Amino acid sequence: MRRFLLLAHRVPVRGGFTLNDLAGGGGRMDEVARAVSTAFTLSNDLRRDTEMTVLFSAEPPPAARKVHLVGARLRYLNPDERSTAALLKNALVRAADFPREFESSPGLRVGPADPLDELRAFLRGPGTVWLTESGRPVAEWAPPGSDVAAVLSDPDDPTPAEAELLGASGVPRYSVGPRSLRTSQVVDLFHAEVDRREAARPVTP
Ligand SMILES: C[S@@+](CC[C@H](N)C(=O)[O-])C[C@H]1O[C@@H](n2cnc3c(N)ncnc32)[C@H](O)[C@@H]1O
């Protein structure tokens, strides 16, 4: 299983933006949507072994929202960024001011969340790393098992409170390359690293 947690700091949490302005009024929903699409799409297939949680924290609780996507059940996720943004926007609009989590489309749950609590819980999971430009090369990583998980941020760096939690958690920091990359590029490179390791694992009869 591969799990991602994406910190989305500026996307309007009630979905109040137009699909024609994802980067501006959408608070960089363009990059969030690209990262979601990259997490799940292969050439003509979906990564069924992947889950992603996006924490929308542009407003504090109770307005903040969490979207959780499960590859094994996901439908209506197309490879283009606009339709992915539409899927996420629809979830946020329907969840605005609704007090409980629900499934807004197959494989996609949305609901209220305390982003720092969610981050804290995610960091306790097995094989979790913080993907950051300042980490050690990911090639040095030795995950404890086949379950892996990664935290990464949207075009804004983690907030001081998030960075403090990440630092205090003791999860290792890794970088996928020497340059500061776009979030979606980091997801791709992380998948490729895990793909390589899985392909190299001896097949047991
Ligand atoms: C566009 S970057 C964040 C902004 C960037 N720090 C800046 O200087 O503007 C988006 C996120 O991708 C991840 N990231 C970017 N480059 C990375 C790298 N080389 N290795 C690992 N993660 C990286 C980090 O989680 C980062 O917060």
Give the closest residue (by CA) to ligand 1 atom 18: 133
The domain over range 2-200 is classified in CATH as 3.40.1280.10? yes
Can you tell me the distance from the alpha carbon of 31 to that of 4, in angstroms, rounded to the nearest whole number?
15
Domain boundaries, the chain: 2-200
* CA–centroid distance, residue 60 to ligand 1 (Å): 23
* CA–centroid distance, residue 181 to ligand 1 (Å): 5
Q: Quote the tokens at residue 51.
A: 């889950």
DSSP string, 74-99: --S--SSHHHHHHHHHHHHHHHTT--
Encode the chain (205 residues) as per-residue pLDDT tens digits. Answer: 999 999 999 999 999 999 999 999 999 999 999 999 999 999 989 999 999 999 999 999 999 999 999 999 999 998 899 999 999 999 999 999 899 999 999 999 999 999 999 999 999 999 999 999 999 999 999 888 889 999 999 999 999 999 999 999 999 999 999 999 999 999 999 999 999 998 887 777 6
Ligand 1 binding site (Cβ under 6 Å of any ligand atom): 131-133, 135, 152-153, 155, 157, 175-177, 179-183, 186
